[in-house]
Chain A
Amino acid sequence: MIALYVVIGVLVVLLILVVLNFNSLVRLRNQTQNAWSQIDVQLKRRHDLIPNLVETAKGYMAHERETLEAVTNARNLAQGAIGKGIDAQAKAEGELGGALSRLLAVAENYPDLKANQNFLALQEELTSTENKIAFSRQFYNDSILRYNNKIQMFPSSVIAAMTGFKAGEFFEIEVGTEREAPKVSFA
């Protein structure tokens, strides 16, 4: 009789452990999904801001057609990369970031443009959107780290394996020479 109670007790404890671990796995996975959708919102915001920016800049910097076209092209490529996997998207967004900062660097040479209220407002929005992309990426990667840790560590690793939780992928935008480039173009 006592043995039966012990077995039942152990089973109940095990069950509680499984439920708790499962729930926290679900919570962490939802968090990574929320974080990802936040990145999406911000990337979309950036895509939406660019036509406006290019339109405003066009009137002032007719000689910078190439720079402007590069931004528009990079934006279209980035928009096309949506849904093609994290790596492809990250690469396209990295290119877009580079093209944008080149444009804003060139804009420094056009005082009239820099005095335009509309351009200033767009510039503030764009700066902030860049920051928001960076911060949402940071939060997404933090969430992925927590989620992956949970999946790999005992005892949640067992439950994750049984219920099919898969490790998530980090989102790294290339921040290589692209971002540094503007400084050269001042010459």
Chain B
Amino acid sequence: MWEQIRSNQIRSMVLVVGMAAVLLVLGYFLGLVFFGSGTGGLIIALVLWLVMNLVAYFQGDSILLGISKARKITRDDHPRLFNVVEEMKIASGLEKMPDIYIIDDPALNAFAAGRDPSRASIAITSGLLQKLNRDELQGVIAHEISHIKNRDVLLMSFCSVLLGSIVILAWYATHMLFFSAMYGGRRSSGRGGGGGGEAIVLLIGILLMILAPIIAQLIYFAISRRREYLADASGALYTRYPEGLASALEKIAASTTELKTANQATAPMYIINPFRQKGRPAADLTSTHPPISERIRILRSMAGGASLADYNAAYARVHQGGGAILPSPALAAGAAPLRAPTPESAPLEPEPGKVERTREVSDLMWRMNNYRTVNCACGTKLKVPPNFKKSEVRCPHCGRIHPV
């Protein structure tokens, strides 16, 4: 496990260094174009990057949880979810129990946040919690726990900050160039020097302004896709039951509801890309996640076992052109036999049906939003919002009047 994380870390580091180089080259040339000093531009780029990194490191998870309107829950709010997270925490050998958050959204998605394994959170939408049975929930949580365990969260927030810096720099540079061309006149001509050389620098600067964000984004997406495969593989290893995650992904893929609170920078944190568009092949270079159908097929063709080597073999079978997705040192880690699926009639499995699950989760959401429940004698339940203005409600079923 350690070897594999380390080796993946090295591959990812190479890509990160690539992104950093893009940022520095961009800064340098923009400096040359605007102040006639490459070093000045370099310093501005570095300072911007540093500040954003500090913010992301110390506040990243609260910002992410904040913008997705996630709310922390306790064990009593949803014992089953808590138990499943605890089970996966044990299976992965994670030292500290992550905090659990719920996002009140019918879309099906989940993400992990937190800069290191001892300060991590998992957020899941209420829609997903309703739709998944226990095995599927376990698969999704295992996937998220692997993101935490593999330190993907830190890596990806680091990368998204890098990407953000590049985008911001390029954006401001474009605008400055535009305005100086409009009003500034010939400011740069006063600096003297060879006109030809300056033109070339200007040209490179403009090219970089256009290309840098695109290149950085492609690198970012490549890193993200790689981490998704690894998280799927580790998820299968932790649960010893790839079918759970596969069937969860299938349900998620079938849903058409879009998550309301996601944005491009946070996309890689989710279990599936929240910006899927129907009809568009999601397999291209510009997606943060591997195509969901391929992820499902890989998990389903893990016939022999649940180890990372089995995942790799399945990947080679399913992926066009074959090849391996996980680094080789990890693969010697020993066999991991598959677990049998939980039989339908298993006495040990108090599995609530879909309707019960939905009621369980929506009641939780009403409680968290301070709704008051009035039980009418006719068996109907009335749930009254906290800012309801009237002093009484009439049961639409039997006509009884209840004070609020």
Contact B93 A128 (CB under 8 A): no
Q: Contact flags (1/0) for A126-145 with B, using CB distance below 8 Å?
A: 11101110011011001101
Residues of A within 8 Å of B86, CB to CB, are: 128, 132
Task: Find residues 87-124 in chain B having any chain A CB closer than 8 Å to their own CB.
Answer: 87-88, 90-93
Residues of B within 8 Å of A168, CB to CB, are: none
Contact B79 A146 (CB under 8 A): no
Contact B90 A136 (CB under 8 A): yes
Contact B90 A132 (CB under 8 A): yes
In this assembly, does B349 line the interface, its C-beta being within 8 Å of a C-beta of chain A?
Answer: yes
> Which of A3-11, A100-108, A155-163 lines the interface with chain B?
A100-108
**What is the bound-complex CA distance between A107 and B1, given in angstroms?**
42
- In the complex with contacts A121-B79, A135-B87, A104-B93 CB distance below 8 A: no
Q: Which residue in chain A gives the minimum CB-CB distance to B339?
A: A134
In this assembly, does B80 line the interface, its C-beta being within 8 Å of a C-beta of chain A?
Answer: yes
Q: Contact flags (1/0) for B204-238 with A, using CB distance below 8 Å?
A: 00000000000000000000000000000000001
- In the complex with contacts A128-B83, A138-B240, A105-B347 CB distance below 8 A: yes
Give A72 Cβ to nearest chain B Cβ, in Å: 18
In this assembly, does A79 line the interface, its C-beta being within 8 Å of a C-beta of chain B?
Answer: no
Residues of B within 8 Å of A142, CB to CB, are: 333-334, 336
Residues of B within 8 Å of A136, CB to CB, are: 90-91
**What is the bound-complex CA distance between A101 and B345, given in angstroms?**
12
**What is the bound-complex CA distance between A142 and B238, given in angstroms?**
11
In this assembly, does B182 line the interface, its C-beta being within 8 Å of a C-beta of chain A?
Answer: no
In this assembly, does B254 line the interface, its C-beta being within 8 Å of a C-beta of chain A?
Answer: no
**What number of residue pairs across chains A and B have CB atoms under 8 A from each other?**
62
Contact A101 B348 (CB under 8 A): yes
**What is the bound-complex CA distance between A131 and B347, given in angstroms?**
14
**What is the bound-complex CA distance between A138 and B350, given in angstroms?**
23
Residues of B within 8 Å of A120, CB to CB, are: 350
In this assembly, does A56 line the interface, its C-beta being within 8 Å of a C-beta of chain B?
Answer: no
Number of interface residues of A (CB under 8 A): 32
Residues of A within 8 Å of B83, CB to CB, are: 124-125, 127-128, 131-132
Number of interface residues of B (CB under 8 A): 21
Residues of A within 8 Å of B334, CB to CB, are: 142, 145, 149
Residues of A within 8 Å of B240, CB to CB, are: 138
Give A167 Cβ to nearest chain B Cβ, in Å: 15
Give A38 Cβ to nearest chain B Cβ, in Å: 6
Residues of A within 8 Å of B336, CB to CB, are: 142
**What is the bound-complex CA distance between A128 and B347, given in angstroms?**
13
Residues of B within 8 Å of A124, CB to CB, are: 79-80, 83, 350
Contact B91 A135 (CB under 8 A): yes
Residues of A within 8 Å of B87, CB to CB, are: 128, 131-132, 135
- In the complex with contacts A121-B79, A125-B79, A138-B240, A130-B348 CB distance below 8 A: yes
Residues of A within 8 Å of B349, CB to CB, are: 127
Give B141 Cβ to nearest chain A Cβ, in Å: 12
In this assembly, does A35 line the interface, its C-beta being within 8 Å of a C-beta of chain B?
Answer: yes
Task: Find residues 18-47 in chain A having any chain B CB closer than 8 Å to their own CB.
Answer: 31, 34-35, 38, 42
Contact A127 B90 (CB under 8 A): no
Task: Find residues 372-399 in chain B having any chain A CB closer than 8 Å to their own CB.
Answer: none
Residues of A within 8 Å of B348, CB to CB, are: 100-101, 104, 126-127, 130
- In the complex with contacts A107-B347, A142-B334, A35-B80 CB distance below 8 A: no
Residues of B within 8 Å of A105, CB to CB, are: 347
Q: Given known contacts A128-B86, A131-B83, A135-B91, what 12 new A-B pairs fall within 8 Å (CB)?
A: A42-B90, A101-B348, A104-B348, A121-B79, A127-B350, A131-B87, A135-B87, A136-B91, A138-B240, A139-B91, A139-B92, A139-B93
In the assembled complex, 19 residue pairs joining A and B whose CB atoms fall closer than 8 Å, in A order, are A34-B93, A100-B348, A101-B348, A107-B347, A120-B350, A124-B80, A124-B83, A125-B79, A127-B83, A128-B84, A128-B86, A131-B87, A132-B87, A132-B90, A135-B90, A142-B334, A145-B333, A145-B334, A146-B1
Residues of B within 8 A of A (CB): 1, 79-80, 83-84, 86-88, 90-93, 238, 240, 333-334, 336, 347-350
